[in-house]
Structure 1
Amino acid sequence: MNTNKNVLDLINRKLIVSCQALPDEPLHSPFIMGRMAYAAYLGGASGIRANSVADIQEIKKQVDLPIIGIIKNVYEGSEVFITPTMKEVDDLYREGVDIIAMDATDRPRPDGSTISELFPLIRNKYKDQLFMADCSTYEDAAAAAELGFDFVGTTLSGYTEATKHKSLPDIELVERIVKSLSVPVIAEGGIATPEQLKQLYDIGIFSAVVGSAITRPMEITKSFMKAVD
């Protein structure tokens, strides 16, 4: 099993590939996500980001790479759906993912609590676990660093009400976090080309997650169709 130090070494300045498909997408299947992760591994990926225990279990059968695990769960009345409650954290910890990622915005969670109230309980319960904060703003990232997250990510920039106007990848946000905070930054969200990835590494990020541009053929096809139309 990887130690936390090994995980840091394995993903530092490397590529993490997000292998996810939601129930309404054609590739939704643990088997397919496992093969997708294997293809990413063959291409040189050094880590995988995956959603759901079922997908993670299948991916583990196919590759021996660090896994950033999430569980997307929609609760009525809450906009937070990426690992939103202690229950999802418990499930991911039991499964043994290397890094647990969760929404770290200031939006109310399903039980009405905020990340500043919930995460200290999680950190105290799972002292040996690495955690990644999925942030949408600099303020989210600064608060997450103060709370003790091991990584901050730009995952939710462009996907919240306050940031929906942002063009992605959010280079400006990445630069501000890298310059102002000491916590390792994992760039994620809208990285569409190798050139953008290189630009982010030149800024000084710790690692990066690329998803749609590699593992979502329906979205890739749509981008090409814009040129046709």
Structure 2
Amino acid sequence: MNNKNSMLEKIQSKLVVSCQALPEEPLHSPFIMGRMAYAASLGGASGIRANSVADIQEIKQHVDLPIIGIIKQVYGNCPVFITPTQKEVDELYQEGVDIIAMDATDRIRPDGSTISELFPVLREKYKDQLFMADCSTYEEAARAVELGFDCIGTTLSGYTEATKGRALPDFEMAEKMVHSLTIPVIAEGGISTPEELKKMYDLGVHSAVVGSAITRPMEITQRFMQSVK
């Protein structure tokens, strides 16, 4: 078994916890994300999804788990901001991230390219790197397989103009991906309860990422407050 397959096996049928906080959020801090990741590992997480080189470096000080790394970078009005250009991929590769995740939707990227134009260049440059495609539709996931991604996620379903309003978690998309595509499917986006997580695994996904329901206390509080308004 090569190292790439071994890394994917480490998160198979297990939980990846997303430890992220954007600059406008109360917990924004590499220090806090490092402790958040440590808490997730104590709770049984087998992988961490993290944003920014600074957060990833801090998280590595506290956990020895596979890391799905991204860099959220906004360029003007471009809607693609999850590892949007080669610059962010280069930074994550240099940091030694186990899996680099990037927006793999059909939208135009900040440099004017599409994922179909950009990714072959990255695949050729970084042959030994695991790449995850964050998709919003089944069609995008199918194209990601053809492009040579190592795993595909439901991450962006409901978060693009074309999929706005879609019910999350997107069980339908996940199930179709599992049954029709040939690489590991990672369920991500809107998984809010243990029951939803179990349903995703019952559908046959390789792994799953849970973020806000575990690591965003402001959003968790808001969800509870909805019940008393």
- TM-score, scaled relative to structure 2: 0.98
Q: Hey, what's the Cα distance between the residues in 2 that align with 1:71 and 1:224?
A: 30
Aligned residue for 2:208, secondary structure, equals strand
Deviations 1:135-192 (A, max 9, x none): 0001110000110100000000010001111011001110111111111100000000
Two-structure CA RMSD over aligned residues (Å)? 0.9
Question: Quick check: 121-130 or 75-84, which moved more?
Answer: 75-84
Match of residue 150 from structure 1: 150
**Superposed CA offset, 1:107-149 (max 9, x none):** 0000110000000000000000000000000111000011010
User: Per-residue deviation at 1:6?
Assistant: 2.5
Q: Which amino acid aligns with 1:179?
A: H
Percent identity of paired positions between Structure 1 and Structure 2: 76
Q: How does 1:29-68 map to 2 (within 5 A)?
A: 29-68=29-68
TM-superposed deviation, 1:9: 1.8
- List runs of 5+ in structure 2 lacking aligned partners: none
| 1:77 paired to 2:50 | no
* Distance in 2 separating the partners of 1:10 and 1:216: 25
Deviation of residue 30 (structure 1)? 0.0
Alignment partners' CA distance in 2, 1:136 and 1:5? 25
Q: Secondary structure at the match of 1:63?
A: coil
Q: Could you tell me which residue of structure 2 aligns to residue 17 of structure 1?
A: 17
Q: Distance in 2 between matches of 1:163 and 1:19?
A: 25
Number of residue pairs the alignment of both structures matches: 228
Local SS of the residue matching 1:69:
strand
Q: Does 1:91 align with 2:91?
A: yes
Partner SS, residue 131 of structure 1: strand
Distance 2:223 2:22 in 1: 19
Distance 2:86 2:210 in 1: 26
Question: How do 1:128-143 and structure 2 match up within 5 A?
Answer: 128-143=128-143
Cα displacement string for residues 84-114 of structure 1 (whole angstroms, at most 9, x for unaligned residues): 0000000000000000000000100001100
Q: Partners in 1 of 2:171 and 2:5 — Cα distance? A: 28
- Structure 1 residue 74: Cα displacement: 0.1
- 2:111 match: 111
Q: Structure 1 stretches (4+) deviating beyond 6 angstroms?
A: none
Kindly provide the amino acid, as one letter, of the partner of residue 155 in structure 1.
T
Give the secondary structure class of the aligned counterpart of 1:27. coil
Counterparts in 2 of 1:5 and 1:183: CA distance versus 1, 3 Å: closer
TM-score (norm 1): 0.98
CA distance in 1, matches of 2:8, 2:157: 24
Q: CA deviation at 1:77?
A: 3.3
How far residue 3 of structure 1 moved from its aligned partner, in angstroms, is: 2.8
Q: What is the distance in 2 between the residues matched to 1:217 and 1:63?
A: 21
For 1:215 and 1:60, locate their aligned partners in 2 and report how far apart those are by CA, in whole Å: 17
- Rounded to whole Å, the distance in 2 between the matches of 1:185 and 1:224 is 31
Name the aligned partner's letter for residue 22 of structure 1: L
* Residue identity matched to 1:121: V
Long gaps (5+) in structure 1: none
What is the alpha-carbon distance in structure 2 between the residues aligned to residue 127 and residue 63 of structure 1?
26
Tell which deviates more after alignment, 57-66 or 6-15: 6-15
Q: Secondary structure, in 3 states, of the residue corresponding to 2:49?
A: strand
Q: Partners in 2 of 1:124 and 1:77 — Cα distance?
A: 29
